[in-house]
Amino acid sequence: MTTAVGVGCSAESVAALKWTGTYAPALGATLRASIAWHYPAAVGPAQAGMGPQGISDEVRQNMAGALAQTVTAADPGVDVDQVVGHGHPARVLLEASKEADLLVLGSRGHWSFTGMMAGSVSIHCVTHPHCPVLVARGDE
């Protein structure tokens, strides 16, 4: 069994990771945390593939560091498989949901608008999943 959790370096991601750190071991499941990156459209047209190797390697390393910091902040109390994916976060998380028994997401990401009940990635993952999805709202 695998429980996947999406991480976006937000307080909501930390809450989702904390919740999953309690849930996954209770079922004997592996906890897999995923973070995603891609070249934003604001820097030009979307790229068909990866960018220059040096830039891609540096971004992947930075994202891996951000993921590790979020895991440390959440202190889930269990080992966490940490995965850095390339692509839009919703696409990367839906791919992760193909191999998971549960996908856990924070209610909104780092760049969300104040007052939103759920972010665009959460909404997309809830409406197109390959497994059950839980949206964690806060750290209560």
What residues does each domain of the chain span?
A: 2-136
What is the Cα–Cα distance from 104 to 114, expressed in whole angstroms? 21
The answer to whether residue 87 scores a pLDDT higher than 70 is yes
Length of the chain, in residues: 140
Do residues 125 and 93 lie in contact, with contact meaning Cβ atoms separated by under 8 Å? Answer: yes
The whole model's pTM is what? 0.83
User: pLDDT tens digit string along 23-71?
Assistant: 999 999 999 999 998 876 665 555 556 677 888 899 899 999 999 999 9
For residue 13, the model assigns a pLDDT of 87
Sheet (strand 2-6) strand order = 80-86, 30-37, 2-6, 102-106, 133-136
User: pLDDT tens digit string along 8-29?
Assistant: 878 888 889 999 999 999 999 9
CATH of region 2-136? 3.40.50.620
Using alpha carbons, list the distances in angstroms from residue 59 to 32, 62, 65: 20, 5, 10
